[in-house]
Structure 1
């Protein structure tokens, strides 16, 4: 923990590990954690999921990856004052969350995956496409693992939608 951070009973910072997983909407833990956090730096662009927040109660700084597509988690990494300064002064971000693949690896290892009823869910399709764009040589096995789906389902995500897929999507829209 940074030496500039003090304990404060009105925030959750001291109860979180240095690398924390906070599920979205699960028993309101996310509400309790984020009540005292304020976003101060957004990475944006190709790393749309990544930002830095500081606690308004204890001054702890967190690098946060927000995965609201596949695992519905926030991943928080405690930052030292020097790491925050490197982000501000030089744009040097720690490596942990710099690719969406890294974020999904945390999701598959640190949380419970969702079961998608629609095998061509827009969230799955766009994430598979993003993974392929980030790393063109990523295998179907790796995509399937990261999305917690079968390899044949991963292959279907990267194919153009069939007439049946379009009809199914039209029916689901009502």
Structure 2
């Protein structure tokens, strides 16, 4: 039998102690709590999701909205609105309104509301002035590029006679 010399082997074994397990558990849950905290902060500081302040009142006015939409469809107006933005951020809304026979509609008051689909803080409103018969124009300064919802509302002496909502994309 051949005897081998005795040598000390130094294995650097890391032992898993109770303190190590506790540190890993605390670290794991701290990461989870930090991520949840970030998500809660982002959820509460962004869009609330509220479309109407009172669902009950909106429900009460619903039949009136249906009647107004039917009356608008019966008028068969042709309304064409265009939004253009220059490099400096100046946006121009040009709206042409014609009746069912193609005659220009004059004497109306149009308002355009540009809303961000996700955040109400950026909403912009502009009154459109009649620049020529049946053509209404309004400008907005520093309009940011991106997606917008353009809500148009036209009034005459009897009240609101036209409403539309369109998604528009404003390029750089």
TM-score class, shorter: under 0.3
With normalisation by structure 2, the TM-score equals 0.23
With normalisation by structure 1, the TM-score equals 0.23
| Larger CA Rg, structure 1 vs 2 | 2
* Structure number with higher strand proportion: 2
